[in-house]
Amino acid sequence: MRGEKEQRCFDSIKKFLEKDIYFAMSCEDEDIIKTAFKEAVPNPELNDFPDFIYSNGFIEHFQVTSSKENRKGSTMMREENDIARDFQNRAKVALEDNNVDEVSIKFIETPIYSHKSHSYIYFIDSFKRNFSNHMDSLNEYDGPKENKIFLIEYTDETLRMSKRYPEDLMMGVSYGDLFVRENPAYRLSRDIEMLRYIYDQRNLVDYVMFVNDDSFCGIIVDVIKTQNALEIIKLLHEGYDFHCAMKGSSQVGTVVSVPNKEGD
């Protein structure tokens, strides 16, 4: 069932629509995306594909992960649930230990947990598996689909990229600002393998919107016309290397206890 995460992602995209986020797309293509986000509304059938519909097509949202997954979901999700339970238990103990005759304020914090089970390979697997699953749903969909848009969101904050340089590059000389580091957060528009993958889906999906919601690097949005995805590769030259940085999570909060005095 769709809910808060789908609507939140949909709403966050709107403030980027006038920015330089479009790849291998004409002005007409850009207008199609802007119109979709202006006119689309949540599907009234809450359990059905797609998430958002309008007169000329749809927007389907799904999330991908770089964490190891099994039948119970991603490892990171399970670890974050464990952290949340730990926090709730610590808060409960703090409340029980409070002196009921006095106002008490206690700061609660869980230990920082390092999420280690992330990799670029896991990300590719998640992306392709989720894409394929939603294609199965699309094949059964008989509503408007003149413009088919997949809105793909990544929120793990671990996937990073670095520009790849030729192995025979001359050393001992200067190269101006060519080595200035880009924003290291992963971008679909820089990934040659995944651009080729979405190009292979060009007859099934018209546009892929990739959102990297990274609290350290900010929200990054890439909108790609699948039919033209190979055109982007021409500009990538040697391409990029991808890896996952270490991420730690914890929960913090404050427990306030106020005595309940009769007559107050």
pLDDT > 60? residue 3: yes
- Domain membership flag for residue 42: yes
Percent of the chain's residues with pLDDT above 90: 56
Residue 46 has what pLDDT?
Answer: 84
Q: How many CB atoms lie within 10 A of CB 25?
A: 19
Q: What is the pLDDT of residues 170-195, one digit of tens each?
A: 888 888 888 877 889 999 999 999 99
> Letter for the amino acid at 144?
P
- Domain membership flag for residue 74: no
Q: What is the pLDDT of residues 202-242, one digit of tens each?
A: 999 999 999 999 888 899 999 999 999 999 999 998 899 99
141 or 175, which is more confident: 141
Residue 177 has what pLDDT?
Answer: 83
pLDDT band at 117 (very low <50, low <70, confident <90, very high): confident
pLDDT > 50? residue 264: no
Residue 195 has what pLDDT?
Answer: 98
Which residues touch 251 (CB under 8 Å, ≥6 apart)?
A: 83, 84, 86, 87, 108, 109, 110
Distance CA 113, CA 109 (A): 12
pLDDT averaged over every residue in the chain = 85
Residue 111 has what pLDDT?
Answer: 55
pLDDT > 80? residue 104: no
Distance CA 230, CA 130 (A): 22
- Domain membership flag for residue 24: yes
Residue 79 has what pLDDT?
Answer: 63
> Letter for the amino acid at 105?
I
Contact assessment for residue 134 and residue 205, using Cβ atoms and an 8 Å cutoff: no
263 or 173, which is more confident: 173
pLDDT > 50? residue 103: yes
Q: What is the pLDDT of residues 52-74, one digit of tens each?
A: 999 999 999 999 999 887 766 66
Give the range of the structural domain holding residue 57, as residue numbers without chain letter.
Answer: 4-69+116-164+179-246
Token pair for 87: 């926090």
- Domain membership flag for residue 81: no
Query: What is the tally of structural domains in the chain?
Result: 1
Distance CA 230, CA 102 (A): 68
Q: What is the pLDDT of residues 239-257, one digit of tens each?
A: 999 988 866 555 566 666 6
Percent of the chain's residues with pLDDT above 70: 75
pLDDT > 80? residue 96: no
- Domain membership flag for residue 261: no
Which residues touch 232 (CB under 8 Å, ≥6 apart)?
A: 23, 24, 189, 195, 224
pLDDT > 80? residue 49: yes
Distance CA 102, CA 260 (A): 10
- Domain membership flag for residue 107: no
**Mean pLDDT across 133-146:** 94
Contact assessment for residue 192 and residue 236, using Cβ atoms and an 8 Å cutoff: yes
- Domain membership flag for residue 208: yes
pLDDT band at 155 (very low <50, low <70, confident <90, very high): confident
- Domain membership flag for residue 202: yes
**Mean pLDDT across 128-141:** 95
pLDDT band at 77 (very low <50, low <70, confident <90, very high): low
pLDDT band at 102 (very low <50, low <70, confident <90, very high): low
Contact assessment for residue 117 and residue 29, using Cβ atoms and an 8 Å cutoff: no
- Return the biggest CA–CA distance within the chain: 83
